Chain A
């Protein structure tokens, strides 16, 4: 378990102090994939570096499995770091060493015998599917392959935690998908705790269990990815989500006025979100049968948040105002997330 308590980080800048983090509190449970999302300059890179003390917090404590990282001396910190693997946006491989030697590097730092290194490195290369590239140099590899080497290297010392600093940001979408599924796979197989820093909501949606949104050095929202996705509270969170799940009304509504108050003859627009396998009741069908209203489906899609399917449906209801009210009350009584957009006329 990683506990960040009241983390503050201040840099000395040419024009006075720059506050990068102000009072961060975060608990990351063992075995989960925790995403931290923010725009560039929000402080997310500083935050992840506070976990392994590449950046020393100005205030606060970082407690990993009961041990306060901020209180360790140089030697103890080096030992603690061997339990934390890290991967980077620009891979940071040794250009002068082969793939094999790059993966062996952390083991050589601990003076592991060569025979043991071989036993450890070969299965890792197999895990990341690079066995045939063992004797090539990083410059001969593609971006995705370089990141696989980075992942194998990060896992070499058998760490309990993997820190991922924008690991897919320099990769194309297909490669990103492959690397993300590798991280997910490793998390499931090895039970390793993963902390992911990213500016892409897609990464959070694909692999994370929990998410924290960081803005100007403060965590503005955090929770289970499913909850944050289906019920975002902060403007910044909504913005991140809308980047991958457009939440705009169909074009034909662009010229219409949307009113929150009932307007006679207007169409009530409602966003319905189904999460998991909650579709045990034919909600839409009942809506049409049981209420004297017309229902039109304006938009719909099905997506996945990690392994949980979730569907979204934008419907328009027309008819008598009181009947629409009853229909809305029926929808709200179901185990669905309902967002009323307004009456369009």
Chain B
């Protein structure tokens, strides 16, 4: 493999990892509370509040209906307001985060709904507060499932980050398009695809391992 190609791939891989890791962390920090609220404010939830539930659900649905490439361009003013620029790897993190928040919210919601209501009821019977139920029942009981779901989100982020090239975000996807496709260098295309496959395999493997380790069922 030519040295220039190696450098290109390492640089692009670095950008991809940076985009995915940073967006994932930011999206998880907001997405998990969002998923919790979607469950607890729902009908018969521990802090039932249907108006809030409906508003959250509408926002989630609205965000999820916009294709990522359009979202990325549409929120350029917001991106500029948050990170000060609308071009580059850092700028790409804003739409990546924004697109992942509702995704994580829904995934976490699904995981929490799998927690048997009987356990929640037992905690209520012991005099637990809603916050204690979230901390000591919902999250630990659903954690293996949440980890499995978040693994899916990370992999989806790797895919979405390929579109970051559209706003100069760089990354593996961008490399494949610019060198492999536009400059007719199939070896770049193939090398990038191989790196992506390995990356996704590693993420899935790590996610499975962690989920299994946490699962005491």
B-binding residues in A (CB < 8 A): 52, 54, 77-82, 84, 86, 88, 90, 92-97, 105-106, 108-110, 137-139, 157, 163
Report whether B127 and A94 are in contact in the complex, using a CB–CB cutoff of 8 Å. no
Q: How far is the CA of A58 from the CA of B121 in the complex (A)?
A: 19
Residues of chain A lying within 8 A (CB to CB) of residue B212: none
Report whether A97 and B132 are in contact in the complex, using a CB–CB cutoff of 8 Å. no
Residues of chain B lying within 8 A (CB to CB) of residue A96: 140-141, 143, 214, 216
Is the CB of B217 closer than 8 A to any CB of chain A? yes
Is the CB of B80 closer than 8 A to any CB of chain A? no
Residues of chain B lying within 8 A (CB to CB) of residue A79: 127
Given A78-B128, A96-B143, A109-B132: A139 touches B121 (CB 8 Å cut-off): no
Report whether A139 and B129 are in contact in the complex, using a CB–CB cutoff of 8 Å. no
Nearest Cβ on chain B to A96's Cβ, whole angstroms: 4
Q: Which residue of A lies closest to B124 (CB)?
A: A54
Contact with A along B115-149 (1 / 0, CB 8 A): 01011011111111100100011001101000000
Nearest Cβ on chain B to A147's Cβ, whole angstroms: 13
Nearest Cβ on chain A to B142's Cβ, whole angstroms: 9
A sample of 26 inter-chain contacts (CB < 8 A) reads: A77-B127, A78-B127, A78-B129, A81-B126, A86-B122, A86-B125, A88-B118, A90-B116, A90-B118, A92-B116, A92-B118, A92-B122, A94-B119, A94-B137, A96-B143, A96-B214, A96-B216, A109-B123, A109-B127, A109-B128, A109-B129, A109-B132, A109-B136, A110-B127, A139-B216, A157-B126
Residues of chain A lying within 8 A (CB to CB) of residue B132: 109
Q: How far is the CA of A111 from the CA of B119 in the complex (A)?
A: 20
A-binding residues in B (CB < 8 A): 116, 118-119, 121-129, 132, 136-137, 140-141, 143, 214, 216-217
Residues of chain B lying within 8 A (CB to CB) of residue A77: 127
Residues of chain B lying within 8 A (CB to CB) of residue A81: 124-127
Report whether B129 and A105 are in contact in the complex, using a CB–CB cutoff of 8 Å. no
Would you list the 7 A-B pairs with minimal beta carbon distance, nearest first? A81-B127, A78-B127, A92-B122, A92-B118, A137-B216, A86-B125, A96-B140
Residues of chain A lying within 8 A (CB to CB) of residue B118: 88, 90, 92
Residues of chain A lying within 8 A (CB to CB) of residue B214: 96
Residues of chain B lying within 8 A (CB to CB) of residue A108: 136
Residues of chain A lying within 8 A (CB to CB) of residue B216: 95-96, 137-139
Q: How far is the CA of A106 from the CA of B141 in the complex (A)?
A: 16
Report whether A52 and B125 are in contact in the complex, using a CB–CB cutoff of 8 Å. yes
Q: Which residue of A lies closest to B126 (CB)?
A: A106
Q: How far is the CA of A54 from the CA of B125 in the complex (A)?
A: 7
Nearest Cβ on chain B to A239's Cβ, whole angstroms: 29
Q: How far is the CA of A294 from the CA of B109 in the complex (A)?
A: 77
Report whether B121 and A105 are in contact in the complex, using a CB–CB cutoff of 8 Å. no
Residues of chain A lying within 8 A (CB to CB) of residue B143: 96
Q: How far is the CA of A90 from the CA of B124 in the complex (A)?
A: 16
Given A96-B216, A109-B127, A139-B216: A54 touches B136 (CB 8 Å cut-off): no
Q: Which residue of A lies closest to B140 (CB)?
A: A96
Report whether A97 and B140 are in contact in the complex, using a CB–CB cutoff of 8 Å. yes
Nearest Cβ on chain A to B132's Cβ, whole angstroms: 6
Task: Identify which of B116, B124, B136 contacts A105 (C-beta below 8 A).
Answer: B136
Residues of chain A lying within 8 A (CB to CB) of residue B123: 105, 109
Given A105-B136, A109-B132: A93 touches B126 (CB 8 Å cut-off): no
Residues of chain A lying within 8 A (CB to CB) of residue B217: 95, 139
Nearest Cβ on chain B to A31's Cβ, whole angstroms: 21
Report whether A93 and B125 are in contact in the complex, using a CB–CB cutoff of 8 Å. no
Q: How far is the CA of A328 from the CA of B143 in the complex (A)?
A: 72
Nearest Cβ on chain B to A109's Cβ, whole angstroms: 5
Q: How far is the CA of A155 from the CA of B128 in the complex (A)?
A: 15
Q: How far is the CA of A199 from the CA of B141 in the complex (A)?
A: 31
Residues of chain B lying within 8 A (CB to CB) of residue A93: 119, 122
Nearest Cβ on chain B to A48's Cβ, whole angstroms: 10
